[in-house]
Amino acid sequence: MISYEHVTPDQVREVAATARPYAVALLWWGPQRHRDGADAIEPEHQRRMVALRDAGTIAVLCPADSERLAGVAVMVVDADEATAIMAEDPCVRADMIRAEVHRCYGFPGDALPG
């Protein structure tokens, strides 16, 4: 269990002051996940997501090992732009994935351990 008694309200306020807006895209498997041609469409989705990551549009990309959730992407654009970007995804257009985009806040410099 993690102890948090040492964290003061001032420390919380200091961290909160550094928060910046981002968008989080929850990518859910859609009803056409296994449709004819899915084996050709999904690699295009994967290439596009990696390209968005390489371009810096996606800060954190997390494919999921789930029958329901395809993955999560933290995006450095606002939620409206993230929604538009995800609407053009090959798997979204093919109804293989449903993109659910939310506004969120994050802390610059946070990273996944490597």
> In the chain, what are the domain boundaries?
20-106
Exposure class string for 40-64: b at 16+ Cβ within 10 A, else e: ebbeebeebbeebeeeebbbbbeee
Can you give the pLDDT of all 114 residues of the chain as single tens digits? 999 999 999 999 999 999 999 999 999 999 999 999 999 999 999 999 999 999 999 999 999 999 999 999 999 999 999 999 999 999 999 999 999 999 999 999 999 998
pTM of the model: 0.91
User: Residue 10: helix, strand or coil by DSSP?
Assistant: helix
CA distances from residue 86 to 6, 7, 57, 98, 100 in whole angstroms, order as listed: 41, 38, 11, 9, 9
Q: Which parts of 1-114 fold into alpha helices (H)?
A: 9-16, 38-54, 79-87, 90-93
Please name which of 25, 27, 28, 11 lies closest in space to residue 107, comparing C-alpha atoms.
11
Q: Tell me which H or E stretch contains 12.
A: helix 9-16
The predicted structure's pLDDT at residue 19: 97
Quote the tokens at residue 14.
Answer: 């200091």
CATH of domain 20-106: 3.30.70.1060
**Which amino acid type is present at position 57?**
T
Instruction: Give the tens place of pLDDT for each residue, 1-24.
Output: 999 999 999 999 999 999 999 999
Taking the C-alpha atoms of residue 71 and residue 37, their distance in angstroms, rounded to an integer, is 20
**Do 76 and 56 meet the contact criterion of CB atoms below 8 Å apart?**
yes
